[in-house]
Structure 1
């Protein structure tokens, strides 16, 4: 436990609410659970009345179109998912429009891909659009653009998308409505000794090990992706809650003290730019580094070419790359000061050799410390 006061939904200024397919779609009818959606819309109206801005990240497009298109088997081919998303997104947007309009709220739709969060310029454009919609009094409804997403380039779950959106718009709280009322020490569905954790002050290795396999049905998430989302959100200064979403009025229940797990924001929350770097899901390449370089990074140094043992991928100067140890663990990420071919040529060499190796003098470091975010915990890195 912690002495830090728990976040309160009733005091939030800007909230992102993530809702999965299993909550929105009636599996028997393959239709929206309209009464449930209406109750959530009423909760959103109540939050707005208290001065809270709300953004919704909503799954459900593919699930809504499955039966309509005769796609009833559990595993769909990529092109079938894309087709279902094209049909189902219209139904999903209409369901939200109908629900919110009952409370005189204008719904807006944004469909995002990883390029919109991983490319800095597109990220800033998406952020500007969202901030403008909120200023105009709209409730943005966001989903992954599954109609054009590929297997290789997609979020795959909306937990991490919601966390990236929360970080993007500087939300102070992220709420994941789920089929479970929070994080447990083990899966309570098959372990009677599982203990509910009302608060997580820090995402330690033992906490992250509690993530399990995704549940059956339409959902593509699971506790593992929720913990990934928690890391993205909390490191950007955003508190996150996992709470039961099945009953009517789930946000009102949370606002009134309903059972959940709160993940507390990091006390050393990163700047907006470093939050974007840390939350990246699709690095363009990798730099493998030695133990000496790891120690230097934990002390706040830049990544110098001398500590790099290998470079993989095809990236340009300014692209985001992952920094790996020799065991394949991702320990940091940052913006490369050199393109991939040049990075490979200078890897393992001293900075004063760069001009001789490339024929021109570039930066002394492969990743400057201002463009680098350490992902591993310092105590584990230096032990």
Structure 2
């Protein structure tokens, strides 16, 4: 594998709904599935950053809550419990494949402060150079309401821009962006390719996400708007599909591909796909 492919940098974001059971608890099986996607990318020679939600979902029952907390203090307390279990599980699963994971907790203010953002980027670069997989989440226990990302779709976009990623991939509980709501409308059609975020694309985005997470299609479109503005090819697909990460890089996955403004034709897209796919 040539250096061109070997140095490709991928940011993969996974949401709470793709990590938890129907009862809202962290699912070991689903975390294994995510780790398998990360390992497939690492084995193919890519640099991988994992932006993972799930701390609150993993911790609120151990806090004594029957449902996901609604107050900031309880959310932060649940996150402090769940983050421990989340990162430990990821680290153990990665080690089974011979890879080391690290934890990075960030806040919105870390990106607005030049010194802290530079430190974060330098730390991430060292980790990636050593073959380590940064596992990134918002630092929920200290974030103030007015300074929170609100969802990790945005955090993943910020990280992608910070580290100059080549590909930003959101794996969720949907196949991609649809014309219509596929959960209620059997005639809803999947949008396979988006070249720039237009008013029409924004209009297709709905409201909030599932009761196990904070994001929704609107937050994903806003995140992709940011990555596309920075020239980063992006993708949205279903986390439950085995092998979807590698398939997405080869543009063979079911989902929606978001292309920056400078990629205006299918021929341009095919060239990028050839450039990105593992050899």
TM (norm. structure 2) is 0.87
After superposition, the C-alpha distances for 1:214-271 in whole angstroms (9 at most, x for unaligned) are 2332110000000000011011110110001124444245356220100002329xxx
The answer to whether the 8 A contact 1:36-1:248 is kept is no
Match of 1:145 in 2: 139
2:253 pairs, out of 247, 252, 258, with 258
2:130 pairs, out of 128, 136, 139, with 136
The answer to whether the 8 A contact 2:24-2:57 is kept is no
Match of 2:96 in 1: 102
Greater relative CO (CA pairs within 8 A, separation 6+) = 2
Runs of 4+ in 1 over 3 A off after TM superposition: 247-250, 252-256
TM (norm. structure 1) is 0.64
The answer to whether the 8 A contact 2:34-2:239 is kept is no
After superposition, the C-alpha distances for 1:130-163 in whole angstroms (9 at most, x for unaligned) are 1111011100000000011111110010001000
Closer, same or farther in 2 for the Cα pair 1:72/1:249, shift >3 Å? farther
2:32 pairs, out of 15, 23, 38, with 38
Largest Rg, 1 or 2: 1
Closer, same or farther in 2 for the Cα pair 1:200/1:11, shift >3 Å? farther
After superposition, the C-alpha distances for 1:157-201 in whole angstroms (9 at most, x for unaligned) are 000100010011011100100111111122222233322111001
Residue ranges of structure 2 left out of the alignment (5+ in a row)? 264-279
CA distance in 2, matches of 1:188, 1:45: 30
Are positions 1:21 and 2:22 aligned together?
A: no
Cα distance, 1:123 vs. partner? 1.2
CA distance in 1, matches of 2:13, 2:127: 18
**Which SS does the other structure have where 1:209 is aligned?**
helix
Superposition RMSD on alpha carbons, in Å?
1.9
CA distance in 2, matches of 1:174, 1:42: 18
The answer to whether the 8 A contact 1:39-1:249 is kept is no
Residue ranges of structure 1 left out of the alignment (5+ in a row)? 1-9, 269-383
1:225 pairs, out of 219, 228, 248, with 219
